Structure 1
Amino acid sequence: MRVFSHTCSNTEIVAALGAADLLIGRDDDSDFPPDVAARVPAYGRDLDLRVDEVIGLRPDLVLTSLTVPGHERIVDAIKAAGIATLVCDPLGLDDIFSDIRRIAAALGIAPRGEQLVAEMQAAMPRVEATTRPKVLIEWWPKPVITPTRQAWATDLIERAGGCNPWAGIDGKSAPLTDEHIMASPPDVIAMSWCGVKVANYRADVVSRRPGWAEVPAVRDGRIVAISEEFLGRPGPRVVEGYRQLRAAIDAARA
């Protein structure tokens, strides 16, 4: 089977399933695992995919997603060429598990999908706690954008023993005003800025905001950097996002 992967998470799922040898192409942003990125040719960033070239590869299956606004155009063009597509659009953590199973089944290795899901679930035990520190994940610092109700990051927070005070807001994410944040001041702030390398996350960008000095997370030095690779990609590495969130939440509870 000849498989093209459009989006990082799908590439990482295929690799985690042990099926990277099926990949004939990827998008430019698929950078993990490094050996797969080095071996498999890239055909443009997610919204600038060179669709004609992808079609020319004559893949048996294109793995794509609707996780980024604008992907619809890419998906429609590939479907119009008569190429089989599998489209992921996960909201919660269970949807990620479902997508892994669907991809494994499409590749003819369904048992590997079940095994990978079981391993991920075992690595992310649900923390039962009476005290749940409030966690703000920042997808972007200005304005502050955070995951809301339909977000796997919210599920990760709750699974790791925390709570997302903005989980009642409908949608995948929302911008927050200072008033929103001060109404439920977070005990932990996790910087996970989209499109920014974790080495460039700066806690002082958060701590120097006017009026934030008494926010518990700022006052107590609980501003952590968790790469978007671990919280923003709906694939196997959300396990690492969970681990880092849990460490920060456990520290806030101590």
Structure 2
Amino acid sequence: MRIISLCPSNTELLEYLGLTHLLVGVDDFSDWPEAIAGLPRLGPDLSINMDLVEELQPDMVLASLSVPGMEKNVVALQQREIPHIVLNPQSLKDIEEDLIKTAEVLGEKERGLAAARQFRSRIENVKQQSRNTSKSPTLYWEWWPKPIFTPGKINWLTEISEAAGAVNIFQDVDMASIMADWEDVLSRKPDYICLAWVGVRKAKVQKNVVKKRPGFEKLNYPSDDHILILEEELYCRPSPRLLDGLEKLYNIIHK
């Protein structure tokens, strides 16, 4: 089959299924795995070149609604009658189900069921380790520094925190994403600050951005080790790579 992916999380899901070799084109932001480096690029996820998509004659397009504005891609696919499915996972369970759904559409049902079992097993393995820990640190996740955006209750990072034996300090807010106030962050006294800025590579994130904010000293951190600079690609995309992020987070906060 000839498959096209229109966003990074879909591309990564296909890799988890072991079906990357079926890809014939991807969006500009897909950057993993390395095997896709030479594939045709179809534009950024909010401005996909549908003429190029059509020229590649895909048997199936993996579309997404993970970012506001992607709806127009789905509409264009419908108008051109290009075969497609739409993925929009909001939770770890959704990702597990998308593994099954995608594989089935591609004629690989058993592969999808096996991938979903592996996905669930990895989560349960970390959860089991977390049950044996004596502490449950609180985490402040930061998706964007100015204005501050952080995940709320309806978000995979709240689940990732819990699975790692920790607590998202904004899990009481019944939203997926919150524009937060720094004073509110300080009042919740997180044990760790987790910086994973969307679209910003780890090397470009600086701890000083946080340390210079008014009142930072109130957190009384013994060292900078309580400010974690994390790979946004392991925490900000709803793909199976979140499990890599989960395992890494567990090892950091329970070392």
Q: Same fold (TM over 0.5)?
A: yes
Alpha-carbon distance change, 198 to 231 in structure 1, aligned in 2, over 3 angstroms: same
Quote the Cα distance in structure 2 between the aligned partners of 1:54 and 1:210. 49
1:22 and 2:22 equivalent?
yes
AA aligned to 1:240 is D
Equivalent residue for 1:12? 12
Identify the residue that residue 33 of structure 2 maps to in structure 1. 33
Matched residue SS, 2:193: strand
The one-letter code sitting in structure 2 at the alignment partner of 1:9 is S
For these two proteins, the number of residue pairs brought into alignment is 250
Q: In structure 1, how many angstroms separate the alpha carbons of the residues matched to 2:33 and 2:168?
A: 31
In the other structure, the counterpart of 2:164 is: 160
Preserved contact between residue 17 and residue 115 of structure 2 (Cα < 8 Å): yes
Compute the TM-score of the two structures, normalised by the length of structure 2. Answer: 0.92
Q: Match for residue 149 of structure 2? A: 145
What displacement does 1:146 show? 0.8
- What percentage of aligned pairs have identical amino acids? 36
Superposition CA RMSD, Å: 1.7
Distance in 1 of aligned mates of 2:34 and 2:106: 22
1:37-58 superposed Cα distances (whole Å, 9 cap, x missing partner): x232111110111112212322
Distance in 2, matches of 1:93 and 1:236, equals 8
Match of 1:122 in 2: 121
Residues in 2 aligned to 1:183 and 1:143: alpha-carbon distance in whole angstroms? 18
Q: Residues 186 and 218 of structure 2 are in contact (CA less than 8 Å); yes or no, is this contact kept in structure 1? A: no
Contact kept, 8 Å, 1:226 with 1:244, in 2: the verdict is: no
Relative to structure 1, is the Cα distance of residues 218 and 107 closer, same or farther in structure 2, using a 3 angstrom cutoff?
farther
* Native 8 Å contact 2:137 2:192 kept in 1: yes
1:7-49 alpha-carbon deviations (Å, 9 max, x no partner)? 011111112212122111110111111122x232111110111
Q: Deviations over 1:99-132 (max 9, x none)?
A: 1111111111122222222223333321225642
Alignment of 1:1-254 (within 5 A): 1-36=1-36, 38-124=37-123, 125-126=126-127, 127-128=130-131, 131-216=135-220, 221-251=225-255
Write the letter of the residue equivalent to 1:195. G
In the alignment, residue 147 of structure 2 is paired with which amino acid?
Answer: P
Go from structure 1 to structure 2 and tell me whether the alpha carbon gap of 1:226 and 1:92 turns closer, same or farther (over 3 Å shift).
Answer: same
Do the aligned residues in 2 keep the contact of 1:27 with 1:43 (CA within 8 Å)? Answer: yes
Structure 1 residue 218, shift from structure 2 partner: 7.4
Question: Secondary structure of 1:97's partner?
Answer: helix
Secondary structure, aligned partner of 1:221: helix
Give the TM-score normalised by structure 1. 0.92
Any gaps of 5 or more consecutive residues in structure 2? Answer: none
Distance of 1:220 and 1:131 partners within structure 2? 20
Provide the rounded CA distance (Å) in 1 between the counterparts of 2:108 and 2:38: 22
Report which stretch shifted further, 172-181 or 119-128.
119-128
Residue deviations 1:67-92 (CA, integer Å, cap 9, x gap): 11100011111111112221111111
Structure 1: which 5+ residue stretches go unaligned? none
